Chain A
């Protein structure tokens, strides 16, 4: 740490940190606290009076098996998506920083899907799953491909993970590309001279150097997966028979279809606590390892 005198430190905090803090507090924290307040009420979405009902919403949420099932499904989905998207992203990052012809063109082409909003892409994929893959399956006589993945609960989950990873990995690729580019070429060369093979170079030289990128990517993937909404809505809409209703979609439906705003807010608060604990722990531990190495 720099040696600044106390007053200087506070001046710096006031000047540099507090503007961001203020905007964040007013745009996020205060509305969120308001939301927590709503979770203790029964509210119809319009009225200016709220009926305080204590913790009834929380009790109800805790006793709703569908909430826990949805949470569990979201957990499975998150694990799948975080692993797959990071593996893909890492591979892309490695591939697209190697001496490859037309590297920049590839980077752009692969990044493009990420530019299109989630909802539109979900509809396109729905068509691909319903009509594209099934036609291929039928014409090749592959039984497992000839029915749509979206009509079976387990395979629909796989489809959801696939499409999410497809999009997310292109997003993570950027960070991995930046990470790999930052690995000094001399270091790799030195390792090669010392007789390390490609795997050794990757594992012992490149990986440690991109650990900050891994931290960021894991964190982003965890948060984004827990919050998945657009693709969930447009690809499966929670189906078949409600088996892929992730928690964010469930919260939205509880509020705007079932019109139970207090209940929806209570679910959101619980979700927030869970995700916050998981991701802060993840960030804390991986960042500590960065410092150690």
Chain B
């Protein structure tokens, strides 16, 4: 008897859910939207993911616009053609630059999806504005990548890198590695790596002070009345850079390296550390027989009690935004569905975690990350040991890396000194419109 009732109930429930689903699709008019992604190199997988979305939301058709390597030009061309993508996965700085054309997602019909987002929404907010223009799409940690295999060989299996908490200890750490016969570090010399990651993100971070202080320094630089060379943090940053430079395995020809070449050395134990980010896994995984790798912090002072010495840099570099300028309200509503689905659905998370190897700052992630560097990032994130660099990513001029990167290269090549570098950076800021 009980079984019978259960069977009937189940049948009834199924029927109900079916009609509900039917009614739901009935209630929606078909709508066509488009998606632009700056996540290059994974077009097939993106299309497959979008197909899954369209299966779940049968009334929405999504056209996919893959990007070339000139991401912004192609995106702007779509705007020029009056065919702005409904949803775009863009750099946070870009979204904020063009926020006039983007939806404030807190005003979406149902913004409850933000409840799953643990951190990173501040990368899509403007100063003094509560609007959020993007849903975080990935999370990236960067600092000192290190070869665990070497470190274990030199320091023993249960060595804890957290003991490297001052600059002096970092030097000692490097010394011991070198004594064991391994070059201690490689300085990757690309303009974007030096300009954006080493200098930009680290300079305009909480090392400089709280958010207000960081903004003030940037404003003073733009006004042309800030002496960078007198800033303590800038000097710390460059002191450590001097240490890295002096030990750089490419010292003889510091600008001749390539990203693949440097990573190959790191992955195959030809060098112990490299200042870079967890996204490099995408390239590292192409190599055969790679060593165990991880990320550790880069201490900048000799103050053992300074918690910042034990933090790595973390950011939400990309997010999903919804266009309001050339898309109808119906398209925008469908766009919000797509954006949140891409960010927070199991399929969307699977794409980011497994394929791109990114950590995600959400509370509902089940996909397992195969990227050991991102696993390190996650550990730092869980422990709250993240240096906030949103001031740089969101508020610095978009060409900072393009202009300052070469200045850092000059410094790396010994063509200028610290005072000259500081002077050039000041000139760059003063010359902005």
Q: How far is the CB of B261 from chain A (nearest CB, A)?
A: 7
Contact A240 B402 (CB under 8 A): no
Q: How large, as a class, is the contact surface on chain A?
A: 20 to 34
Q: In the complex, identify which listed stretch (A74-82, A105-113, A146-154, A192-200) lies at the interface while the others stay far away.
A: A146-154
- Of the candidates B73, B253, B397, the one whose C-beta lies within 8 Å of that of A256 is B73
CA distance A239 to B405 in the complex (A): 10
B179 within 8 A of A: no
CA distance A86 to B386 in the complex (A): 57
Contact A44 B98 (CB under 8 A): yes
A45 within 8 A of B: yes
Contact B256 A130 (CB under 8 A): yes
Contact A148 B261 (CB under 8 A): no
Q: Which of A120-170 contact B (CB under 8 A)?
A: 126-127, 130-131, 134, 146-148, 150-151
Q: Which of A237-276 contact B (CB under 8 A)?
A: 237-243, 252-253, 255-260
Binding site for A on B (CB under 8 A): 70, 72-73, 76, 79-80, 97-98, 100-101, 191, 252-258, 261, 325, 397-399, 402, 406-407, 409-410, 413, 415, 431, 433
Q: How far is the CB of B321 from chain A (nearest CB, A)?
A: 13
Contact B72 A239 (CB under 8 A): no
Contact A45 B252 (CB under 8 A): no
Contact A257 B399 (CB under 8 A): yes
Q: Which residues of B contact A291 (CB under 8 A)?
A: none
Q: Which residues of A contact B398 (CB under 8 A)?
A: 257-259
Q: Which residues of B contact A255 (CB under 8 A)?
A: 73
CA distance A2 to B289 in the complex (A): 77
CA distance A243 to B416 in the complex (A): 14
Q: Which residues of B contact A253 (CB under 8 A)?
A: 399, 402
Contact A256 B72 (CB under 8 A): yes
- Of the candidates B70, B97, B399, B409, the one whose C-beta lies within 8 Å of that of A241 is B409
Closest to A119 in B: B69
Given A130-B256, A258-B402, also A239-B97 (CB < 8 A): no
A28 within 8 A of B: no
A115 within 8 A of B: no
Given A147-B256, A239-B255, A241-B410, also A260-B261 (CB < 8 A): no
Contact B407 A241 (CB under 8 A): yes
Contact A151 B397 (CB under 8 A): no
Q: How far is the CB of A229 from chain B (nearest CB, A)?
A: 11
Given A151-B413, A237-B191, also A46-B79 (CB < 8 A): yes
Contact B256 A134 (CB under 8 A): yes
Q: 7 A–B contact pairs at CB < 8 A?
A: A60-B433, A130-B258, A150-B255, A240-B255, A241-B406, A255-B73, A256-B76
